[in-house]
Chain A
Amino acid sequence: MPSHLTTPDLSKVDQERLAQSGIDLSMNNRCGSFLQMDQDVVHAECSQEGIEVLSYAKAFEKYAWLKDYNWKMVSPDKDDVTKYVAAQKDPKGYVIIAHKGSSNIFPIQACLYLGKDQIQHVHNIIIAEEGAELHIISGCTSGEHVGKGGAHYGISEFYVKKNAKISFTMIHNWSENIEVYPRSASIVEENGVFLSNYVCMQPVKKVQMYPTATLKGANSVARFSSIVIATPGSLMDLGSRAILEGVGASAELITRAITKGGTIISRGHINGKTAGTRGHLECKGLILKDGVIYAIPEIEGSVVGTELSHEAAVGKLAKDEIEYLMSRGLDEDEATATIIRGFLDVKINGLPGALQKQIDASIDVAEKSGF
């Protein structure tokens, strides 16, 4: 049993904020943890045999071959964010390696906590070697008093080897002053599976990300699911991209977006480059209060035999659905919340129960505050 995570410097409120971003301090349902507070790595361990959770610095001390995985999926010259992280003399972040054939039933939690008005930078490398199965929950949050100027720059590179699987569930629980710029990319080899889930139910000043999965191997699979609510003042520029290269590769990009006054740009791009590949992109948006949902689905096929589709819909809550539930005895607020809950209820195939539960819990918190 892994030891409890201790966060002595955090107030109760901030510990609660950690919990809301999916971090289980008791470690009851986790097999390992990484905790970085601002730029200090305070915890990195894993009790699961065959899986290592290391700080970026320690990992490079231990494994010289990691250089072959460093800045290979994400270019350091991509933009100002990557340049900033690449220029750091003392890089932070984590490396998680699931060695050949290993697997974890209880997920590893990676927590990135921002407590000061500064830029927190991380560079993460996640590797599932042949036949390994690795589940990670990444909880990102900030202290309640962090003011303007707080930002998080995160580079993540995922390597899903032959017959391996990675699920990565990221729950954001920032605040209205924080800007967040994840830059991530993954490569999936033969029969590999990459599941990427993103949940953000709380205010944030700006999130901008466009994770990309390159499905290199035959029959490789990627599924991106995003469940987001934009509150007034929030700008969420979110996308996901799948490049289908291996024969039989398939991808699914699903987004459920609600605006309560904020702006959501929901991008998506599937590029079918090989015959026998399939991809589907789906974005459903609900406008509860005047805000913006701008869906930009792109599907690009360049060979005979790739099958791609997309479906995008933006609208309001249907009155007849609300009244239907009211005719069964629910009041208007209950009926509305029940329908929104259903709208956000995306069940992700292949995700362990503990992680699906965590996603549901994040939505529960939003539901309790009336969405």
Chain B
Amino acid sequence: MLQVKNLYVNVGDKEVLHDINLQIDDGETHVLLGPNGSGKTTLLMTLMGYSNYTVTKGTITYNGEDVTNMHANERAKRGIGMLFQRPPTISGLKLGKMLTAISRTKQENIPEMAKSVHMDNFLERDINKGFSGGEIKRSEVLQLMIQNPDFVMLDEPESGVDLENISLIGTTIGTLLEKDKHRANRKKSGLVITHTGYILDYLDADKGHVMCDGQIRCHGNPREILKDIKQRGYKECLECRHT
């Protein structure tokens, strides 16, 4: 589904990602771990097509098509979606209006979908204005439900969310990623940034990657990597030069 080859990314004049290689196949969910400031969010924003993130070298291929130079909306139309960790507040723009704009002619039942993630009382509210951490994440999940992407990127979906809401968000994202289907029948793929690993209880992740200093340093079983990091921190990863 997604192939990233020898990717180098600048933010302004500074090179932030160096030689990133990543392959995510249909139906797979990968986890991206790494200390704060290591470049995880930068990678997701680059894959989404945000213009502040300049690809200086390398390619991003999605379903066989080179999307490296595509705008975010063209990528979204092809099925790439993202849950943002800190989405902007848009004064005056009501969540309900935005959902209608996203849904276009798909005729989704927006009030019902909103209700399923307890956001039915937020449809007339300005997007993210005064939302709590959990409300922001539920709003993001709701937008993704309507967008229904094939490749879902999740930037810390559990940060700022209480345990009850993690369960709701986790289950809903699990459905988005077809975790309710047998592994062989799953088509949707995901890439998840997490620090706590709570979200993995709902996502049944296939592979893990550790990012340090703008490089992916190692790959492996996500739960084992997470266990290692929880026990020993990122010190060894930072010192590790094995890629």
Q: Which residues of A are interface residues toward B (Cβ below 8 A)?
A: 284, 318-321, 323-332, 334-335, 338-339, 341-346
Kindly list chain B residues whose C-beta atoms are within 8 Å of the C-beta of A326.
49, 71-73, 76
Kindly list chain B residues whose C-beta atoms are within 8 Å of the C-beta of A344.
92
Kindly list chain B residues whose C-beta atoms are within 8 Å of the C-beta of A320.
88
Kindly list chain B residues whose C-beta atoms are within 8 Å of the C-beta of A329.
73, 76-77, 102, 104, 147
Kindly list chain B residues whose C-beta atoms are within 8 Å of the C-beta of A325.
98, 101
Chain B interface helix/strand/loop/mixed: mixed
* Interface size classification for chain B: 20 to 34
Question: Which residue from chain A places its CB closest to the CB of B82 in the assembled complex?
Answer: A327
Asked if A324 and B87 make an inter-chain contact with CB atoms under 8 angstroms apart, the answer reads: yes
Kindly list chain A residues whose C-beta atoms are within 8 Å of the C-beta of B42.
none
B97 within 8 A of A: yes
* Assembly CA distance A344 to B97 (angstroms): 13
Asked if B93 and A338 make an inter-chain contact with CB atoms under 8 angstroms apart, the answer reads: yes
B143 within 8 A of A: yes
Asked if A339 and B90 make an inter-chain contact with CB atoms under 8 angstroms apart, the answer reads: yes
Q: Which of A318, A328, A331, A345 is in CB contact (< 8 Å) with B92?
A: A345
B118 within 8 A of A: no
Q: Nearest Cβ in chain A — how far from B75, in angstroms? A: 8
Kindly list chain A residues whose C-beta atoms are within 8 Å of the C-beta of B5.
none
Q: Which residues of B are interface residues toward A (Cβ below 8 A)?
A: 48-52, 71-73, 75-77, 81-82, 84, 87-88, 90-94, 97-98, 101-102, 104, 126, 143, 147
Asked if A327 and B73 make an inter-chain contact with CB atoms under 8 angstroms apart, the answer reads: yes
Asked if A323 and B50 make an inter-chain contact with CB atoms under 8 angstroms apart, the answer reads: yes
With known contacts A321-B88, A327-B49, A330-B101, A345–B73 Cβ distance under 8 A: no
* Assembly CA distance A334 to B49 (angstroms): 17
Question: Which residue from chain A places its CB closest to the CB of B79 in the assembled complex?
Answer: A329
Question: Which residue from chain B places its CB closest to the CB of A344 in the assembled complex?
Answer: B92
* Assembly CA distance A324 to B51 (angstroms): 11
Q: Which of A319, A328, A345, A346 is in CB contact (< 8 Å) with B76?
A: A328
Q: A335-B73, A338-B98, A343-B91 are in contact. List 4 more A-B contacts (CB 8 A).
A: A323-B72, A324-B84, A326-B49, A338-B101
* Assembly CA distance A343 to B90 (angstroms): 8
Question: Which residue from chain A places its CB closest to the CB of B146 in the assembled complex?
Answer: A328
Q: Nearest Cβ in chain B — how far from A288, in angstroms? A: 15
With known contacts A327-B48, A329-B147, A342-B97, A321–B73 Cβ distance under 8 A: no
Question: Which residue from chain B places its CB closest to the CB of A327 in the assembled complex?
Answer: B72
Kindly list chain B residues whose C-beta atoms are within 8 Å of the C-beta of A321.
88, 90
Q: Nearest Cβ in chain A — how far from B46, in angstroms? A: 12
